[in-house]
Amino acid sequence: MAIPILEIRELRKSYGQELVLQDVSVTLAEHQVKVLIGASGSGKSTLLRCINLLEGIDDGQIVLDGRDITAIGTNADEVRSHVGSVFQSFNLFPHLTVLANITLAPRRVHGVSRKEAEEQALALLARFSLEDKAYQYPDLLSGGQQQRVAILRAVINRPKILLLDEVTSALDPILIAEVLALIAELKGEGMTMMIATHEMGFAEQVADQVLFLHKGLICESGSPSALLEDPQTRECKAFLDALRKAGRL
């Protein structure tokens, strides 16, 4: 196996009395895509939020590109500038145009000149047929367009890893397809990704490995086809059966 970009070692996290992650260990190699599945409240989002340091952890370690980012005294801003994050609710900045949204971090965090940042952003938008939206405000875009812009905003700095937290959950099926196409294309380019999703079909399509989380534990993991078609644990079977009944699988 190639050198790991991300190594999570026995991560433990609780909110008050409630244990949300129980000694979770995950390793992610460069260009690898791992997909987290599991019911709401199983700890998928918390795990992602620990990786970009939006949440503090109780015990364990997270090593990003050979460096322990959970060590005391770590500069969180610096770590986050190498980690791309996209959320369920887009969170584009409504007072900035699409172009200004995408160029904000390159200009302010990475010290790229305005001209250069805008050229890069426009090229990126053009590749995903969004160039005509560059000077519009996010309010005027469809949900799918907004989420695609949010993803481009997260990848323009070439992060070491991209975290996607239920990025299609707020969208209708047709808009979901355009967002998933963009993510599939990023995978084709070798982007290392950790994805929390409810879209099983998509998990099957992009995942190198699927991890099933249940009550803060990685209950089962495996290749997408193996895990989705022949789950070994009772919890995973129950979860997939429930999805099947709801017509989501």
Partner 1 sequence: MSYRPSELRLQREAARHRASRRSTLIAVGSTLLIGIVLTVGITGAPGFDRVRQSFFSAHYARTSFPHVLSGLWLNLRVMVIAEIFVLIFGLLIALARTSKSPVLYPVRLLATFYTDTFRGLPLLLVLYLVGFGVAGLQISWIPNSAVILGTISLILTYTAYVAEVIRAGIEAVNPAQRMAARALGLSQVQTQLHVVLPQALRKVTPPLLNDLVSLQKDSGLISVLGAIDAIRAAGIETAQSFNFTPYVVAGALFVLLTIPLTRFTDWLTRKQDRARVQQGQW
User: By C-beta, is 103 or 168 nearer to partner 1?
Assistant: 103
For 65, other C-beta atoms within 10 Å of its C-beta total 16
The least CB distance from residue 91 to partner 1, in Å, is: 4
Picking from 165, 162, 160, the residue whose alpha carbon sits closest to that of residue 67 is 160
User: By C-beta, is 15 or 188 nearer to partner 1?
Assistant: 15
The least CB distance from residue 87 to partner 1, in Å, is: 7
The least CB distance from residue 85 to partner 1, in Å, is: 4
Instruction: Give me the long-range contacts of 118-124 (CB less than 8 A, separation at least 24).
Output: 120/156, 121/152, 121/156, 124/152, 124/155, 124/156
- Contact by Cβ (8 Å): 212, 239: yes
The least CB distance from residue 201 to partner 1, in Å, is: 27
Enumerate the β-bridge partners of residue 85. Answer: 163
User: By C-beta, is 150 or 236 nearer to partner 1?
Assistant: 150
Which residues would be at the binding site for partner 1 (CB under 8 A)?
52, 54, 77-78, 80-83, 85, 87, 89, 91-95, 104-105, 108-110, 139, 153-154, 157
User: By C-beta, is 111 or 247 nearer to partner 1?
Assistant: 111
Distance of CA 156 to CAs 44, 95, 97, 135, 174, Å? 25, 20, 16, 17, 25
Structure tokens at 199: 């879209």
Q: In whole angstroms, what is the distance from residue 220 CA to residue 213 CA?
A: 7
User: By C-beta, is 109 or 242 nearer to partner 1?
Assistant: 109
The least CB distance from residue 46 to partner 1, in Å, is: 14
User: By C-beta, is 95 or 245 nearer to partner 1?
Assistant: 95
Q: In whole angstroms, what is the distance from residue 159 CA to residue 18 CA?
A: 32
User: By C-beta, is 77 or 189 nearer to partner 1?
Assistant: 77
The least CB distance from residue 204 to partner 1, in Å, is: 28
The least CB distance from residue 53 to partner 1, in Å, is: 9
- Contact by Cβ (8 Å): 186, 173: no
Secondary structure of the chain: what % helix, strand, coil (to 5)?
40, 25, 35
